[in-house]
Amino acid sequence: MLFTAGFLTVSYTYAYGSLGHEIVGEIAESYLCENAADEVTRLLDGESLGRASRWPDWIRKDPKWRKSRPWHYINVADDARIDKATGRPGGDVIWAIETYRGELENRKLGTPRRAEALRFLAHFIADIHQPLHVGRLEDRGGNSIAVIVDGQKSNLHKFWDAQQLLKLDRNSRGYDHDGQVASLRALVADRAAGLQSAGVLDWARESQALRPEVYAFGADSGELDAKYRAAALQITRARLAAAGVRLAGTLNDIFCTDSGRG
């Protein structure tokens, strides 16, 4: 599961791994209004939103979809404005969210095209909440920063993709997958409306603002100690929960009338 920094040949690894994307989808499903839930089921032919959202990672080695690699992230300096950084040739995660939301809203497109758009949209809304998918160009979103976790070599980006963190969290708390999802859902139970009121640029700014915490480790040793890992887990849990609620809010905006939203 863990890779050295030198092993990586692409700009960014997978945000949140399969487990994180599954969690975001499951949280979102619990906040969908009836019309949105029905449309998601129809477009995905019964596949869960969490599993469907993993597809954009599976296709990145396909030559047909090589163009999609830059859509998973955006490069921006610490003090730069997000709105000035987006819109560059090749696309980025903000461009991708806006593009695929537009395709999902377009009822003139056929079901296969809109189903594809839904898969992309769900994936990229999760990606933008991973702090290092709004990353520094000079270290490739943390991919070129070697770190050590419990004696094993990794890189900073891979660590924040959180697959290992989420599994350790589950094991240490003694609950199963459903219990983990429920615990994350509880984090946002009374904050859904506020989280959904923020826009895509705000989501990216939140990730950018987390850099002091993300880079707060021993640069000399590269060791991510227990204190750092605990802080990273707390941030990750909050970001996954927010992503799920915001994915639901986006789908409700597309598929539901004001009276039908839930």
Please report the DSSP string for 46-114 in residue order.
Answer: T--HHHHTTHHHHTTTSGGGGGGGGGG-EE--TTS-HHHHS--TT--HHHHHHHHHHHHH-TTS-HHHH
The number of distinct structural domains making up the chain is 1
pLDDT tens digit sequence for 19-47: 899 999 999 999 999 999 999 999 999 99
Instruction: Count Cβ atoms below 10 Å from residue 24 Cβ, excluding itself.
Output: 33
Q: 194 near 241, Cβ under 8 Å?
A: no
Residue numbers of the domain that contains 208 = 5-260
Asked if residue 7 has pLDDT above 80, the reply is: no
Amino acid code (one letter) for 148: I
Beta strands in the chain (DSSP E): 74-75, 134-135, 146-149, 152-155
- Which CATH number fits the domain that encloses residue 12? 1.10.575.10
**What pLDDT digit, counting tens, does each position of 129-163 carry?**
999 999 999 999 999 999 998 888 999 999 999 88
- Note the pTM of the prediction, 2 decimals: 0.91
- Per-residue tokens: 29: 């499903």
Give every CB contact of residue 134 below 8 A, 6+ residues apart in sequence.
Answer: 73, 74, 76, 82, 93, 128, 204, 207, 208
